[in-house]
Amino acid sequence: MKKNESKAIGGAARAKSLSSQRKKEIAAKAAVARWGLQATHKGNFRDDFGIDVDCYVLNDSSKTAVISQTGMGQAIGLAQRGGAIQAFVSSKVMTDFVGSEIRKKLENPLKFQVRPGASENLVSIAYGYDVALLIDICKAIVAAEAAGSLTSRQASAAAQAHTILGASAKAGIKGLVYALSGYEATKEEFIAAFKAYVQEEAKKYEKEFPNELYDQWHRLYNIPVLDRGKPWHLMHLTVKHIYFPLAKSNGKILELVRAHKATGGDRKKKLFQFLNEVGARALRMQIGRVLEMTESSTSKIEYENKISERFGGQTELDI
């Protein structure tokens, strides 16, 4: 028997002995080696979670779950611009809590092909990160918070990090039990469960309005500090600069407010309850925006000009 024939027979025998799963893994590696990483599935967080973040599943053997570069930052409440997550992780307050491995992954996003719609010929290139990196970053943020390194402006990022970690852990362990038990959850079941976990975690870590915001309002408006309770001026500012912009938003929050609109009773209380239960993330982000404006203003006029410029028309509020 010739040498080449012997190799062919041996190769066929080995191929026959491989399990179907192993064959799929080998085929996936061969496809990646030839064509590079490709997205086999694409989704978006917009409809279910109110943030415009693309997500993908790649064709590597690990079926890597990926979120877009900007999505990584948006997930913890950072600005909707490229490089926001890199800038945050590289900031002075995070230096001691982010290891070289996280930095290396952020500096080298995954590059993969995406076929828009049902097109087979049109291919675009996208960049993103393994979603597991989000968990590592959240752990680093929580560690920085525990060490007292975060600023008041970064409190919302810490709260969001707690929420993501808690919800992901609960969803993960539930998914493991499903897999071990042979139960295949539907897409709708999994999304509904994760949303419930997010709301549960948000309630747990949702704090009262930060004292720093009240301190700044006292300073800018010369509001006297009472021995007991808070002056009515603070409630007025809370409704006008926090709740009112959220309620008038043309974004996701407006849709949800309309869907859950209170009929009669204390409408402000109803709105607060809604934001606390469903829109906790949006509420934290709005508080963070207003706090930043107060801290960077030297006078009441300067502060109100910033409020008017940012929220005056209320044609749209990015949540």
| pLDDT tens sequence for the chain (319 residues) | 555 555 444 455 555 566 666 666 665 555 555 557 888 888 888 777 777 888 999 988 888 999 988 888 888 877 666 678 888 888 888 988 998 899 999 999 999 988 766 555 667 888 999 999 999 999 999 999 888 888 877 877 888 888 889 889 988 888 888 888 888 888 888 888 887 777 777 666 555 577 888 899 999 999 888 777 677 788 778 878 887 777 665 455 555 555 555 444 444 444 444 444 545 667 777 888 899 999 999 999 999 999 888 887 543 333 3
**Contact indicator for 135, 168 with CB cutoff of 8 Å:** yes
Rounded distance between C-alpha atoms, residue 198 and residue 192, angstroms: 10
- 82 backbone φψ class: left, alpha, beta (φ>0; ψ -120 to 50): beta
> What residue segments make up the domains of the chain, in order of their start?
1-35, 37-205, 211-311
Three-state secondary-structure class, residue 57: strand
**Contact indicator for 77, 85 with CB cutoff of 8 Å:** no
**For the chain, what percentages of helix, strand and coil (3-state, to nearest 5) are there?**
60, 10, 30
Q: Two tokens at 294?
A: 């107060």
Computed on alpha carbons and rounded to an integer, the radius of gyration of the chain in Å comes to 25
- pTM of the complete model: 0.58
**Contact indicator for 319, 285 with CB cutoff of 8 Å:** yes
* 16-34 exposure pattern, b = at least 16 Cβ within 10 A, e = fewer: eeeeeeeeeeeebeeebee
- Residue 221 burial (CB < 10 Å; 0-12/13-18/19+)? middle
**Contact indicator for 253, 319 with CB cutoff of 8 Å:** yes
Q: What is the DSSP string of 283-297?
A: HHHHHHHHHHHHHT-
